[in-house]
Structure 1
Amino acid sequence: MYEERPALLDGAVLWTRTAASAPREARPVLPDGCMDLIWADGGLIVAGPDTRAYVPAETATRYAGIRFAPGGAPAFLGVPAHELRDRRVPLGALWDGAEARELAERLTEAVDPAGALDAFVLRRAAAAPAPDPLLRAVVARLAAGRPVAETADAVGLGARRLHRLSLDSFGYGPKTLARVLRLQRALALVRSGVPFAEAALRAGCADQAHLARETRALAGTTLGAYARGAAASAKREPPHPSGSSTTA
């Protein structure tokens, strides 16, 4: 069972998942521009930003995670996002090993590991540099479907500087981030029952064929297969748009 709610940290999402007792095929994790810190049966894992669908090997039974807003994790973790692109790494590989083990033990012993993780992230984030407000504006504009060049001009960043900052903050350049966010908009419409052609145009794709190509490239599946899988999953548990709940 999967559940999520707003985290204490602004813009982040706190989620939990309990694996089904009967094994079933894991749902792919789709790119969403986000990074997660995940507690999974006593271990701590960082899920970096994805550029393609990731199929997790579900080895744990209980998960709790924080999904940071795009650009929100690097300052917290102390690592540029591009170093974690398309990777899942133990927290101990990024932080002092003893510190990571102590945190994992504390969460495991907590009555509510998700709540304890939520509180820890809020405390630590208060001591970390705040995300660049310019990059928050970049995300907001790209999420609304604005072109990359127009976005760069609007926030006063040159193309090269925007690309460099995007690599550090999001793990990839602004054009890739725009593609990822556009696909998320389109698939949200598909999940709500909007016809493919209409979903493509409303999300900012040229046409249904464009959306179909992007779905294959970024999600690793066809539009029809995605829609059928989303419908089947909705009958079992609430959908999680980014799929980050099974990144362990």
Structure 2
Amino acid sequence: MGGVYAERPAPAGLACLWTRTVTSSTVQRVVPDGCTDLMWSPVSGSLFVAGPDTQAQLATVQPGTLYGVRLPPGAFPSVFGVPAHAVRDLRVPLSSLVPEARLESFSDMVEFCASRVVVDPSLAATASLLRSGDVASVAWEIGLSARQLRRRCLDAFGYPPKVLQRVLRFDAAMRLAWGGMPFASVAFEAGYADQAHLAREVRSLAGVPLGQLIRP
């Protein structure tokens, strides 16, 4: 990934606070995780939002420290006032979404997100069910039609249900792999049919093999 990356706990409703510091221009591979981020670069003065990704993106990080506030899946609309699918696979200036926002520091970013985020237990339940169940069964279990579930997922998470399912499963697999679990066990624990299925999904979503992706 390059540089020094660090996370620290965030206020309730937010996923985490993070920084990445590099001493020279670095290309970073950003893989889908279902989350969205508000990011600030003091060097350039840019303050922008990273929407939910459907595949890996390569971003050039300039020397200095990049600050980020990560929102959990489903939280984007409550903070920025637009459906998550509107910024899918995009990097958008904060001023385009919330023109009245005046943020001048990392603490301002944290306060902005923490004061606006709304935690919706029904969305967390939907995501949890989709991690392990097929879309039709999940829609039936929560009392929605397939069309209603699709609309809910697009608005809250930025993805249709099947894509959300793939991204959440992929993110779970990445966490296990980074923890040192053997790849065959990762495939089983994350819900893939087998290790070959895991390998195909990693290549599709991340653009590189799993071994290369988790290489220090």
Q: TM-score, normalised by structure 2?
A: 0.89
CA RMSD of aligned residues (A): 1.8
For 2:125, the aligned partner's letter is A
Does residue 180 of structure 1 match 2:167?
A: yes
For 1:135, the aligned partner's letter is L
CA drift at 1:116: 3.2
Superposed counterparts of 1:50-199, under 5 Å? 50-59=53-62, 61-96=64-99, 99-100=100-101, 102-103=102-103, 106-107=104-105, 113=106, 115-125=107-117, 130-143=118-131, 145-199=132-186
Flag the 1:201–1:124 CA change in 2: closer, same or farther, 3 A. Answer: closer
CA drift at 1:159: 1.1
Q: 1 CA distance for matches of 2:143 and 2:189?
A: 27
Q: 2 CA distance for matches of 1:12 and 1:225?
A: 26
For 2:84, the aligned partner's letter is A
Runs of 4+ in 1 over 6 A off after TM superposition: none
* Aligned residues of 2:24 and 2:63 also touching (Cα < 8 A): no
Q: 2 CA distance for matches of 1:196 and 1:123?
A: 40
Q: TM-score, normalised by structure 1?
A: 0.79
For 1:63, the aligned partner's letter is L
Does residue 16 of structure 1 match 2:8?
A: no
Q: 2 CA distance for matches of 1:167 and 1:148?
A: 14
Q: 1 CA distance for matches of 2:191 and 2:116?
A: 37
1:149-194 Cα distance to aligned partner (Å, 9 max, x none)? 2322222222110001111111111111111111112222222222
For 1:92, the aligned partner's letter is S
* Aligned residues of 1:9 and 1:121 also touching (Cα < 8 A): no
Q: 2 CA distance for matches of 1:11 and 1:119?
A: 11
What are structure 1's unaligned runs of at least 5 residues? 108-112, 233-248
More relative contact order in 1 or in 2 (CA 8 Å, sep 6+)?
1
* Aligned residues of 1:51 and 1:86 also touching (Cα < 8 A): yes
CA drift at 1:23: 4.0
2:208 pairs, out of 187, 209, 221, with 221
For 2:211, the aligned partner's letter is G
For 2:30, the aligned partner's letter is V
3-state SS in 2 of match to 1:57: strand
What are structure 2's unaligned runs of at least 5 residues? none
Q: Percent of aligned positions with the same letter in both sequences?
A: 47
Flag the 1:118–1:74 CA change in 2: closer, same or farther, 3 A. Answer: same
1:49 pairs, out of 35, 52, 67, with 52
Aligned length: 211
Greater strand share, structure number: 2
